[in-house]
Amino acid sequence: MNGLDASRISGTSLLAWRNLSHDRARFVVTLVGVLFAVLLMGVELGLLLGFARTTSGLVDHTDADLWITPAGTTNVDIAGRLDERRRFEALAVPGVAQVDPLMMQFAFWRKPDGGTESVSIVGFNLATGQGRPWNLVQGTIEDLQQDDAVIVDRLYAAKLGVTALGQTIEINNRRARVVGFTAGIRTFTQSPYVFTTHRNAQRFTFFRPDQTTYLLVRLRPGSDAAAVRDALQTRLGRVDVWFAADFARAAQRYWLITTGAGSALLLAALLGLVVGIVIVGQTLYATTVDRLPEYATLRAMGAPNRYLYRVILKQAAISAVFGFIGGMLLVGLVVLASAGSTVAVAMPPGLIGVLGLLTLCMCALGALVSIRRIMRIDPTSVFQ
Amino acid sequence: MSAVITLDRVGVTYGRGATALAALQDVSLAIHPGEMTLLLGPSGSGKTSLLQVMGCLLRPSRGRVQLFGEALAPDLGVEALAALRLAHIGFVFQHYNLFPTLKAWENVAIALDLKALPRAQQREQSLHLLERLGLADRAGHYPAELSGGQKQRVAIARALAGGPRILLADEPTAALDGKTGQGVAATLHELAHDAGVAVVVVSHDPRVEPFGDRVLHLEDGRLVDDRRPPRSTA
């Protein structure tokens, strides 16, 4: 039965499967085409999502409801300075439960064996933990209570010349000591995040004790978030007040769209889609042309056009399913390989679903040329 | 018995202007159930065109076609014509036109699949038909594994699967040797008489002639003879 129980599946499914499986070389070419397209689309879209997550990771991993940023801030990695005393003005606004400062500033990291790297110092309020590092795999948050303590991510340890806990380096010519490692906290700017206390961050970056970068606001339960945001904006004047989700999206938009990185990834994914459509279209069309006498016979027997279309579309669907499975296995390998690198390929279930739909659409579009040919078939040709 | 197909002054012309070719001219006839009608004539005499008109595959340029007493509208769409073929007409072709990737019973089942029968019934009826045509032991074979006669009998089983009242065969014995060809012709004759199907066979093959209840002769697109041979096998 060629692997199928013909007494259980419909005639169109059987014809579709046999048409494909009886020409194995062509079927393999189709599958390789779909597989390649799925791999390209999967990796590019996974990179896009991975980058998007990276650009907004810091915002997404706080539980602040609102972010107060210096006016004109476009993303979380680059910002001016705020007067930390404005924190008290914010606390005076009804509905505000808590306000924490968060520092973010580029600095120079001098490696133990010489050489300098750019890093992003993230200084958070150790008392509340708002803005603290996540995925801590070595050391504790409390270790940061020491004056020179910092936590970095293992992904960037080699880049920063760090080989073990307790190692000392210099940040902007001030001594610092690595007390902990996180795993998988990436940065889009390639200046690794260096977590420390807000006070230490001020020292490392020469901020005055009354200066910070952001104020993170938590609301009282039941308060109207939009109303509080508007009230903060009015009260604080020349700052921007964002919902956390909006600020995360702004960061993603800034890095992925304004820098062109997102467009390049989307273009590559689109290229994969087009390549898939062309390959599936060509191979399905060749199969269809080979079998035109059979389609003409079906038409002569009284098969409606939609019966013929079903055969073609099922061929496309079979190619899509097998190609998708093979492609996703390879994408899975890429995702696994990227887990240990500074560039993450994200593959959540939602994206897998989107890729599945794209693959089906790609194959269906590839089948359109064949369907157009079938539409013009003349049943009297069976007598020639 | 009333006619299943009636043609009234039917004409078919291919092309236009100076290159126009009249394939059929003023053909009038009636086809009745329960008999095997032979359509004879030299090449280019219009036999196949006539078969296509009777099979709702070709709309005539002129004249009127009736199916079971109902006139076919000249502007009937291709999907409507296909529906008529599916409901009433079975075809047997010179080169069998079996699906090479399907086994014998699956080839027969396709005709039932077009009528949306449940798959289990498709298999059961297909096997029954193949058994009736003496092919029970070949049901699981692909066409490439069958002889010419076996292939043509599978094609006949497929044509009969939809329960047609009209069976149109185009040179069904041309690709078969003498004995096998006669066997196929006999099968078609039996179908006409036992099942009451109106069988029309286009043929050049003199071996088929003894099986015809009625013989129509075409020349240059015109029906020049319509006779019932005195010595029929019926």
A111: tokens are 């490696």
A220 & A80 share domain: yes
pLDDT, position A226: 96
Q: How many domains does chain A have?
A: 2
A87 & A226 share domain: yes
A101 & A203 share domain: yes
Contact residues on chain B for A19, CB-CB shorter than 8 A: 101
Contact call for B91 and A300, based on CB within 8 A: yes
Half-sphere CA count of A226, side-chain side, radius 13 A = 0
Q: In terms of Cα–Cα distance, which of B180, B183, B179 is closest to B191?
A: B183
Q: Which residues of A281-290 are buried (b: 16+ CB within 10 A; e: fewer)?
A: bbbbbebbee
- Does A379 contact B at CB distance below 8 Å? yes
Q: Which residues contact A359 (CB under 8 A, 6 or more apart)?
A: A34, A37, A38, A41, A276, A320, A323, A324, A327
Query: Which of A186, A202, A237 lies at the terminal end of a domain, its last residue?
Result: A237
Contact call for A15 and B102, based on CB within 8 A: yes
Residue B72 maps to a domain: no
Mutate to test the interface with A, among B53, B108, B114 (most CBs of A within 10 A): B114
Diameter over CA atoms, chain A: 93
Contact residues on chain B for A375, CB-CB shorter than 8 A: none
CA angle A304, A305, A311 (to 5 degrees): 105
pLDDT, position A2: 53
Residue A327 maps to a domain: yes
A326 & A288 share domain: yes
pLDDT, position A6: 65
Say if CB A68 and CB A236 are below 8 A apart: yes
Residue A249 maps to a domain: no
DSSP string, A152-220: EEGGGTTTTT--STT-EEEETTEEEEEEEEESS---TTSS-EEEEEHHHHHHHTT--TTEESEEEEEEP
Least CB–CB distance from A11: residue in B87, B89, B113: B113
- Three-state DSSP at B12 gives strand
A145 & A269 share domain: no
- Does A292 contact B at CB distance below 8 Å? no
pLDDT, position A351: 95
A253: tokens are 């938009």
A228 & A323 share domain: no
Q: How many domains does chain B have?
A: 1
Half-sphere CA count of A355, side-chain side, radius 13 A = 33
Residue A245 maps to a domain: no
How far is B86 from A20, CA to CA, in rounded Å? 26
- Per-residue pLDDT of A228-267, as tens digits, reads 999 999 999 889 999 999 999 999 999 888 888 888 888 9
In this prediction, residue B162 has a pLDDT band, given cuts at 50, 70 and 90, of confident
pLDDT, position A3: 54
CATH number at residue B204: 3.40.50.300
A183 & A294 share domain: no
Q: Residue B186 carries which side chain, given as an amino acid letter?
A: A
A226 & A300 share domain: no
pLDDT, position A353: 96
Residue A24 maps to a domain: yes
Q: What distances in angstroms separate CA A198 from CA A202, A204, A327, A381, one per listed residue?
A: 6, 10, 46, 82
A163: tokens are 């080989």
A274 & A369 share domain: yes
Residue B174 maps to a domain: yes
Half-sphere CA count of A278, side-chain side, radius 13 A = 8
Q: What distances in angstroms separate CA A23 from CA A6, A26, A27, A33, one per listed residue?
A: 18, 6, 6, 16
Q: Which residues contact A115 (CB under 8 A, 6 or more apart)?
A: A161
Contact residues on chain B for A309, CB-CB shorter than 8 A: none
| φ/ψ (deg, to 5) at B67 | -120, 120
Residue B68 maps to a domain: no
pLDDT, position B208: 87
Q: What is the mean pLDDT of the segment spanning B160-181?
A: 87
Question: What H or E segment, with its residue span, contains residue A67?
Answer: strand A66-70
- Per-residue pLDDT of A167-223, as tens digits, reads 999 999 999 999 999 999 999 888 999 999 999 999 999 999 999 999 999 999 999
pLDDT, position A1: 44
Q: What is the mean pLDDT of the segment spanning A259-276?
A: 88
A230 & A297 share domain: no
Q: Which residues of A135-173 are buried (b: 16+ CB within 10 A; e: fewer)?
A: ebeebebebbeeebbbbbbbbbbebbbbeeeebebbbbe
Query: Which of A237, A271, A304 lies at the terminal end of a domain, its last residue?
Result: A237
In this prediction, residue A4 has a pLDDT band, given cuts at 50, 70 and 90, of low
How far is B178 from B181, CA to CA, in rounded Å? 5
A51 & A80 share domain: no
- Three-state DSSP at A91 gives helix
Q: Residue B205 carries which side chain, given as an amino acid letter?
A: D
Q: Classify A218 in phi/psi space as left (phi over 0), alpha (psi -120 to 50) or beta.
A: beta
Q: Which residue of chain B has the CA closest to A379?
A: B57
Residue A335 maps to a domain: yes
- Per-residue pLDDT of B177-219, as tens digits, reads 878 888 888 989 988 998 899 999 998 888 888 899 999 999 9
Contact call for A383 and B170, based on CB within 8 A: yes
- Does A309 contact B at CB distance below 8 Å? no
How far is A145 from A139, CA to CA, in rounded Å? 12
Least CB–CB distance from A302: residue in B51, B86, B97: B86
Tell me which residue has tokens 């193949």: B130
Q: Report the helix count and the strand count for chain B, using DSSP H and E.
A: 6, 10
Residue A251 maps to a domain: no
Structural domain boundaries enclosing B202? 33-61+77-227
Residue A153 maps to a domain: yes
Residue B44 maps to a domain: yes
Structural domain boundaries enclosing A164? 72-237
Contact call for B93 and A297, based on CB within 8 A: yes
- Does A10 contact B at CB distance below 8 Å? yes
A197 & A223 share domain: yes
Q: What distances in angstroms separate CA A294 from CA A43, A313, B182, one per listed residue?
A: 40, 16, 27
How far is A160 from B46, CA to CA, in rounded Å? 89
A17: tokens are 């499967």
- Strand B21-31 vs strand B5-14: parallel, antiparallel, or unpaired? antiparallel
Q: What is the mean pLDDT of the segment spanning A36-47?
A: 92
- Per-residue pLDDT of A280-314, as tens digits, reads 898 889 888 888 999 999 999 999 999 999 999 99
Residue B66 maps to a domain: no
